[in-house]
Structures are given as C-alpha cells and as structure tokens.
C-alpha cells in the first residue's frame, strides 16, 4: 500500500492532516493501537517540523504486512548539526511555532523514542529527508 501527501510551508492550519489520514488507514487495517500511536505521533512531529522549518515537502507512506515506513522529504534550509538537533531542548523554532504548542526542542527526540528505525539525511540549502519505520511484529 502506498500513499503520498503534500506539506505546505507555514500551513499550520493543516498541520496534522496527513498524520490523521495515516492514523485512519492504520485503524482500518486493524493494526495494534499502541503501534498506531507511536507512528502517528512521530509523523505528526515530523509534519510540524516540515511546516515550521522547511519550504514544504512530501510525505511518502508504505505499508506492508510487516511494517509501516514513512519518509518526509522537504525542500528547505537543512539541519546544520543533526546530533545537536537530536538533543532534547535544542530548538531553532520561531515564536509562531511556539504559539502552536511546539518548538521546545522535543520533536526529534520524541520521534526517535517512538519509531523502531530512524534515518535522517540533510543537506544545507537543499533539504531534509527523514525515514521512520514502525515494525508490526
């Protein structure tokens, strides 16, 4: 099963729409509720990141009998120091993002805690690609 979604820069009103669709699909497939929660929390955090920090991007979702894999690929400034960005409390978020209830430097660590596999590739001035996998077994 393959799905794609679009993320638009600064479109906070729609932040979470893709995560919501993914959640509905996983529910229809009768996937364990804790695994659904882990995946959609991670996707939601990543979706907020793409809207807040990048110039928009795409979300690619693949589901098979063993796992769900989500790739969020954005066009954007890239992450200067991934190790630093992974540290809890480190944030470059704007005031607007903080008003939304995010921007405390918890997103990437939270993503890491929820998924079974995380891979972040980033190039300065080009963009960031985050791959997240949750295994069903």
Partner 1 sequence: MRIKEIAQFIDAKVLTCPEKIEGEVKYGFASDLMSDVLTLREDEVMLITGLCNLQTIRTAEMADISVILLVRDKKPNEEMIELAIDNNLIILQTKHSMFRTVGILYKNGLNPVY
Return the closest-CA partner of residue 97 out of 61, 50, 134, 136.
Answer: 50
What does the alpha-carbon distance between residue 33 and residue 15 come to, in Å, rounded to a whole number? 22
What does the alpha-carbon distance between residue 112 and residue 116 come to, in Å, rounded to a whole number? 8
Residue 75: left (phi > 0), alpha (psi -120 to 50), or beta?
beta
Total residues contacting partner 1 (rule CB under 8 A)?
Answer: 24
Q: Examine residue 125 and tell whether it contacts partner 1 (CB under 8 A).
A: no
**Minimum CB distance to partner 1, residue 70 (Å):** 13
Q: Examine residue 44 and tell whether it contacts partner 1 (CB under 8 A).
A: yes
What spatial distance separates the first Cα and last Cα of the chain, rounded to whole Å?
A: 18
Q: Examine residue 23 and tell whether it contacts partner 1 (CB under 8 A).
A: yes
Q: Examine residue 113 and tell whether it contacts partner 1 (CB under 8 A).
A: yes
Q: Examine residue 12 and tell whether it contacts partner 1 (CB under 8 A).
A: yes
**Given the rule CB under 8 A, which residues bind partner 1?**
12-13, 15-16, 19-20, 23, 33-34, 37, 40-41, 44-45, 48, 99-102, 104, 106-107, 110, 113
């Amino acid at each position: 099963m393959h799905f794609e979604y679009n993320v638009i820069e600064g479109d906070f009103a729609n932040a979470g729409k893709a995560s919501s669709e993914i959640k509905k699909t996983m529910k229809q497939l009768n996937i364990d509720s804790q695994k659904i929660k882990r995946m959609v929390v991670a996707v939601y955090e990543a979706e907020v990141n793409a809207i807040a920090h990048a110039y928009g991007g795409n979300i690619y979702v693949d589901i098979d009998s063993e796992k769900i894999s989500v790739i969020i690929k954005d066009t954007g400034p890239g992450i200067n120091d991934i190790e630093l960005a992974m540290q809890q409390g480190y944030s470059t978020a704007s005031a607007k993002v903080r008003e939304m209830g995010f921007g405390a430097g918890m997103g990437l660590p939270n993503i890491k805690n929820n998924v079974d596999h995380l891979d972040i590739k980033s190039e300065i001035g080009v963009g960031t690609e985050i791959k997240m996998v949750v295994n069903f077994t």
